[in-house]
Amino acid sequence: MSEVEKLLSMNRKAADRYLKREVLGEGTYGVVYKAIDTKSGQVVAIKKIRLGKQKEGVNFTALREIKLLKELKDPSVIELIECFPHKGNLHLVFEFMETDLEAVIRDRNIFLSPADIKSYIQMTLKGLAFCHKKWVLHRDMKPNNLLIGPDGQLKLADFGLARIFGSPDRRFTHQVFARWYRAPELLFGAKQYGPGVDVWAAACIFAELLLRRPFLQGNSDIDQLGKIFAAFGTPKPSQWHDMVYLPDYVEYQYVPGQPFKTLFPTATDDCLDLLSKMFTYDPKARISAQQALEHRYFSSGPPPTEPALLPRPPPKREPGNPKVSDLNPHDGPVVLSPPRKSRRVMPHREGFEANMHPEKMDDHENEIQQAAGERSEQVPMSLDFSVFGMKPPTRPTINSADRTHLKRKLDLEFQPEEE
């Protein structure tokens, strides 16, 4: 047997090893399946990387993720178990994660105690500290990129935007992060930035855990800065000396900001102290992830909840028993990811559909399509629904109530089980 033949049979073996189950979602660059590793019995998630029209080979974002995840092995980072090519497509095998932090935050049946919040933010910071120690910036920190495993352990995922830093003079793009999690230096167009950008985003997530809604929901970069300043006050040069030299710096009218105690009325003093250090304007003065972990907030009571005991969305309900009211936007805060710049077009935003036409959400593909079609005409939105016209969902869309709980991810909204 020649070497190539040997390899081919090896790959077939790798592919055969996994028993493909339902589709979990459509990721940034391919479909994600749930699968069972027949060798170990382990449940895994397999990302099948689409080869972009066979023009530029393995997707750049996927390659980034592979490159970094091969170097980042830690309980706080999603594990890339292996990669294998099969039928011309590259497949990435990840450990299976049950849910994500966004689902936890937005599930109104979940009460998060101070100890629970401490546990979630501690695990987030541990993941960041680990990446930063390895000189990797995540650059896309937000609740739905923080996955939660069956044991309650939170792990950083989606390294498609991550970069290695370390050369002091490397210039990066400032168009990273979903806007609501973007640090002020990025909003002012900084090209040389460091781990502080991830810490700012972690602070936003921290605030979101406390408030149960995204903290600073700007609808443009300018507005985002306005929201930041309205909360913390316009930075004075004494607070942030380098600010005026940033490429897109513009002067904002002075606003005084509010005391942290007013912004986060439920938080303890230790908690507020840490938050204020993570929300420091000057990235040079901002606390690092490692320092944050050593903050007294984590050593003072109450101790963080054991991951296994953390409240999580209930396991998905049986289809046919939808609980639509969960998603009614008028009842309370609904957490939606802010629209992103060009990078991600998400045609299947069931979040919107479910909210607006709950009565239409059942398992019939046609109706869903129809509903989606109607909506794109009626409701102007920042998401591109026009894609629906060209590319109808290939599978029956999930029923609305299940969606929240099912959204466990590798990027995305979920599809129903095919059992």
Residues annotated as catalytic (active site), given as ranges: 140
- Can residue 299 be called a binding residue for other proteins (CB under 8 A)? no
Smaller CB separation from other proteins, 73 or 341: 73
Minimum CB separation of residue 82 from other proteins in Å reads 8
C-alpha distance from residue 121 to each of 150, 151, 259, 297, 340 (Å)? 18, 16, 22, 11, 24
Query: Among 2, 342, 366, 382, which residue sits at the site for other proteins (rule: CB under 8 A)?
Result: 2
Query: Among 1, 39, 54, 266, which residue sits at the site for other proteins (rule: CB under 8 A)?
Result: 54
Query: Among 3, 251, 318, 359, which residue sits at the site for other proteins (rule: CB under 8 A)?
Result: 3
- Can residue 55 be called a binding residue for other proteins (CB under 8 A)? yes
Contacts of 67 (CB under 8 A, 6+ apart): none
Smaller CB separation from other proteins, 62 or 335: 62
d(CA 340, CA 362): 28
Structure-block tokens of residue 415: 């599809």
Helix orientation angle between 269-278 and 196-211, rounded to the nearest 10 degrees: 140
360 assigned to a ligand binding site: no
25 assigned to a ligand binding site: yes
- Can residue 249 be called a binding residue for other proteins (CB under 8 A)? no
- Can residue 4 be called a binding residue for other proteins (CB under 8 A)? yes
Smaller CB separation from other proteins, 60 or 254: 60
Give residue for tokens 């979940």.
110
DSSP-derived secondary structure for 266-323: T--HHHHHHHHHHT-SSTTTSPPHHHHHTSHHHHSSSPPPPGGGS--PPPPPPTT---
Smaller CB separation from other proteins, 64 or 227: 64
DSSP-derived secondary structure for 382-412: SS-TTHHHHS--SSPPPPHHHHHHH---SSS
Q: Which residues pair with 158 in a beta bridge?
A: none
Minimum CB separation of residue 48 from other proteins in Å reads 13
Q: How many residues does the chain have?
A: 419
249 assigned to a ligand binding site: no
Residues 198 and 181 sit within 8 Å (Cβ to Cβ)? no
Which residues 105-164 are close enough to bind other proteins by CB under 8 A? Answer: 133-135, 163-164
Count of residues of this chain found to bind other proteins when the rule CB under 8 A is applied: 29
Q: What beta strand segments (E) does 71-120 contain?
A: 80-86, 89-95, 99-100
Tell me, residue by residue from 65 to 94, as one string, x for binding to other proteins by CB under 8 A and - for no binding: -xxx-xx-----------xxx--x-x----
Write out the residues near other proteins by the rule CB under 8 A.
Answer: 2-4, 7, 51, 54-58, 60, 63, 66-68, 70-71, 83-85, 88, 90, 133-135, 163-164, 166-167
